[in-house]
Structure 1
Amino acid sequence: MQARLLLEDGTLFTGKAFGSEGESTGEVVFNTGITGYQEVLSDPSYCGQIVTMTYPLIGNYGITRDDFEAIRPYVHGFVVREHEEIPSNWRAQYTLDSLLKEYGILGISEVDTRMLTRILRHHGTMKGIITTSNKPVEELKEQLNAMELMRDQVSRVSTNSRYACPGPGETVVVVDFGSKSGIVRDLSKRGCNIVVVPHDTTAEQIRRIHPDGIMLSNGPGDPKDVPHAVKMIQDLLGEYPIFGICLGHQLFALACGADTSKLKFGHRGGNHPVKDLLTNRCYITSQNHGYTVLEDSIEGTELEVTHINNNDGTIEGLKHKQHAAFSVQYHPEAAPGPFDSSYLFDRFLDMIRAFKQEQPAVPQQAKMLAAAKSNSAENKGELAYAEK
């Protein structure tokens, strides 16, 4: 079956359909990774986007449930040069085509993805539509002109309720703005007692968990669409060690008075070089973001730049000068990507332990009483028990 991809500038690509049939719109972006198409598809940060893979052969090792980074994909379309219909991998459980069909995602192959990527690099990301219909191009153009890019994607991909991944170590609250499962995996490897909470969890609700540290996860979209998270971070900054990743990094910057803006075509792939300004070492990193923290906006804040992107000089890492808090724009949990930056999770835990040593000891009974009193009337039983 034939499929077409139309960009808002009028560029039309004709190819072969795979996955679901019908029509889908979204922001067209590109990913430069050589492997990891399954992790890309299941990364919530791609919510509402049509993803183009620059590597030409996609689908050759199939799909394995264990490699998902979220419960389901949120992409709106998938563009590849060559789609392999018969995977070769002993772990493969089914094909890329069947995955896209399962979740109603349109795919288009036999597209000149090199040409498409050059267009996006020159003009920037743009709106696009994939269709298997026979609609006239003029009608598709009208649809694109009337189309509004998706906003507030975080509420679509965040967990709706709190859940725990128990462990014997430090208690870490992960605020889920569209978190990849790799974040929980890396914390679990280090023995953390993890509590994952929805994106709109308040500072007071987090305090009741009595965490040792707070992780601000990755997620999709414009950080300015999540103002409640900025307020939460401002309220908790200095009370607990904080580590922000990707969207969490941008929200941390906004909470500290910096500003963000949209990049021309973003950074997406598992091969982006980042320089650590402290050590002058260059790390190869996994990235997926369309926004950046503006360098000029750092002046006058309590933030210090710790990492920069070697390709375009944009900010890739920040730390607070006074409080135990830092962030990175890239993904230390990788998936897909190199593991160069996994040390940042160890740095976060070292920060937590150092912070705890600096705090005055609080008896366990006092902790129980404080926790009970901070709750509402629904916790009267717990309060009575704590006071007893």
Structure 2
Amino acid sequence: MTDAYLALEDGRVFEARARAPGQTRGELVFTTAYTGYEESLTDPSYAQQVLTFSYPLIGNYGVRDERFESDHVQPSAAIAREFTDDVADWLASEGVPAIDHLDTREIVTSVREEGAMACGIAAGEDATPEDAVAEMEACVPMSDHTDIGAEVSVDEPEVHDGGGDYTVALLDCGAKGSIIENLTARGADVHVLPYDATPEAVSAVNPDVVFVSNGPGDPENFEAAQTVAEAFAGDVPLAGICLGQQIVASALGGSTEKMAFGHRGVNQPVRDLETNRVVMTTQNHGYTVADPGPLEVTQVNVNDDTPEGLDSEDLDIITRQYHPEANPGPNDSLDFFDDVLDLATSRSPVTAD
């Protein structure tokens, strides 16, 4: 049955089956993960994107909300070779269009060869190819989503009690819930602050560590978070994950660039330059650090040598491009959170200049 259409920026239109109705648009990306679809679909880093699963069957172990990384589905739409009814019903209940019964191998190959591209989806009884094309033509580049942080961040500060051994000020640029869980499990009280919090608001928390979270979009559009990172660097230990690494590098004089199709999946190999140890990691990003500025590149992606870890002993900074919280994915790098909190004991917190 054909009652859905996917229109790509390169002019092609795919016929498909509607599993959750609606019309939408976004940047077409793919993930190679074969498990963890609940975590991927609730990861705020997928905001304003259309997520294609390269694994052919999505939903074979149901849907359980305790595995969610946020309180709702984040991508604009979802594509698979086949969705189970559980996943399709979940996406429909959240108003997120979903389509299947199309050749996802061809879609993934296209993104790998041509890069992430604009796409439009029309799904449902009255959907037409023209509807999908119109959605695609209205799609804007990720860099033009200048206030995407407002879509994924908390509106007001939140506090998560971890026992009070440490105080972490977490800039919420689209933070996954498992980041907070890993910090509280290690005794940290986590103060989740809006993505546009001021240095003064962060100072009011009296943090032992300032932590910049993951999130969607172009790091250059997170100017407030860059201001915070610059204000506290060298005074209070500073950490970041994914978008957070890019923000910290930019704040200290480095630069970032958009990747062709990014890293998304749970089997990305990362090599530590000091030990030569290789770990498998979970990743979800479309931008990378081009110039680390004063930070030292300590880990790289085995496939393309892009920076995966940045450190500075002098400034008490540690960041990672991958997702050490491993939801979904391998647990090889969970010790990152121990390393972050070890920094908290190295110096007493002071207020920003």
TM-score (norm 2): 0.94
Q: Which one has a larger percent helix, Structure 1 or Structure 2?
A: 1
- 1:119 equivalent among 110, 118, 125: 110
Q: Which one has a larger percent strand, Structure 1 or Structure 2?
A: 2
Give the CA deviation at 1:83.
1.6
The answer on whether the counterparts of 1:303 and 1:321 sit within 8 Å (CA) in structure 2 is: no
1:132 matched to 2:123? The reply is yes
1:42 matched to 2:42? The reply is yes
Residue type of the partner of 1:329?
Q
The answer on whether the counterparts of 1:302 and 1:321 sit within 8 Å (CA) in structure 2 is: no
1:153 matched to 2:148? The reply is yes
Task: Give 4+ residue runs of structure 1 displaced > 4 Å after superposition.
Answer: 133-136
Paired position in structure 2 for 1:190: 186
Secondary structure, counterpart of 2:45 in structure 1: helix
Residue type of the partner of 1:355?
R
Give the CA deviation at 1:25.
0.6
The answer on whether the counterparts of 1:304 and 1:321 sit within 8 Å (CA) in structure 2 is: no
> Matched residues in 2 for 1:154 and 1:195: separation?
17
Secondary structure, counterpart of 1:268 in structure 2: strand
Paired position in structure 2 for 1:364: none
Give the CA deviation at 1:131.
0.7
> Matched residues in 2 for 1:156 and 1:214: separation?
22
Paired position in structure 1 for 2:242: 246
Where does the alignment leave 5 or more consecutive residues of structure 1 unmatched?
86-94, 360-366, 375-388
1:55 matched to 2:55? The reply is yes
Residue type of the partner of 1:330?
Y
Give the CA deviation at 1:215.
1.2
Give the CA deviation at 1:135.
5.8
Mean Cα deviation higher: 110-119 or 150-159: 150-159
Task: Give deviations 1:176-209, integer Å, cap 9, x for gaps.
Answer: 0000001011011111111111111111111111
Residue type of the partner of 1:17?
A
1:269 matched to 2:265? The reply is yes
The answer on whether the counterparts of 1:276 and 1:308 sit within 8 Å (CA) in structure 2 is: yes
1:257 matched to 2:253? The reply is yes
Query: Percent identity over the alignment?
Result: 40
Closer/same/farther in 2, CA of residues 173 and 233 from structure 1, 3 Å limit: same
Secondary structure, counterpart of 1:10 in structure 2: coil
Task: Give deviations 1:19-75, integer Å, cap 9, x for gaps.
Answer: 2x1211111100000100010000000001100001111011111011110011121
Paired position in structure 1 for 2:301: 309
Paired position in structure 2 for 1:282: 278
Closer/same/farther in 2, CA of residues 98 and 32 from structure 1, 3 Å limit: same
> Matched residues in 2 for 1:338 and 1:131: separation?
35
Closer/same/farther in 2, CA of residues 340 and 59 from structure 1, 3 Å limit: same
Give the CA deviation at 1:350.
1.2
The answer on whether the counterparts of 1:324 and 1:355 sit within 8 Å (CA) in structure 2 is: no
Alignment RMSD (CA, Å): 1.9
Closer/same/farther in 2, CA of residues 236 and 16 from structure 1, 3 Å limit: same
Give the CA deviation at 1:355.
2.4
> Matched residues in 2 for 1:71 and 1:135: separation?
29
1:16 matched to 2:17? The reply is yes
Where does the alignment leave 5 or more consecutive residues of structure 2 unmatched?
none
Secondary structure, counterpart of 2:274 in structure 1: coil
Paired position in structure 2 for 1:377: none
The answer on whether the counterparts of 2:162 and 2:185 sit within 8 Å (CA) in structure 1 is: no
> Matched residues in 1 for 2:135 and 2:36: separation?
32
Task: Give deviations 1:213-258, integer Å, cap 9, x for gaps.
Answer: 1111100000001111111111111121111000100000001101
The answer on whether the counterparts of 2:77 and 2:97 sit within 8 Å (CA) in structure 1 is: yes
Matches within 5 A, 1:77-88: 77-85=77-85
Matches within 5 A, 1:208-219: 208-219=204-215
> Matched residues in 1 for 2:283 and 2:217: separation?
14
Task: Give deviations 1:59-99, integer Å, cap 9, x for gaps.
Answer: 111110111100111211110011222xxxxxxxxx21221
Secondary structure, counterpart of 1:284 in structure 2: strand
> Matched residues in 2 for 1:319 and 1:132: separation?
46
Give the CA deviation at 1:322.
2.1
The answer on whether the counterparts of 1:302 and 1:322 sit within 8 Å (CA) in structure 2 is: no
> Matched residues in 2 for 1:264 and 1:316: separation?
17
Paired position in structure 1 for 2:97: 106
Closer/same/farther in 2, CA of residues 58 and 135 from structure 1, 3 Å limit: closer
The answer on whether the counterparts of 2:121 and 2:132 sit within 8 Å (CA) in structure 1 is: no
Paired position in structure 1 for 2:4: 3
Closer/same/farther in 2, CA of residues 130 and 245 from structure 1, 3 Å limit: same
Secondary structure, counterpart of 2:303 in structure 1: coil
Residue type of the partner of 2:219?
P
> Matched residues in 2 for 1:51 and 1:288: separation?
11
Task: Give deviations 1:138-171, integer Å, cap 9, x for gaps.
Answer: 5643542343235022111000010111122111
Structure with bigger gyration radius: 1
The number of residues matched between the two structures is: 347
TM-score (norm 1): 0.86
> Matched residues in 1 for 2:131 and 2:82: separation?
28
- 1:223 equivalent among 216, 219, 224: 219
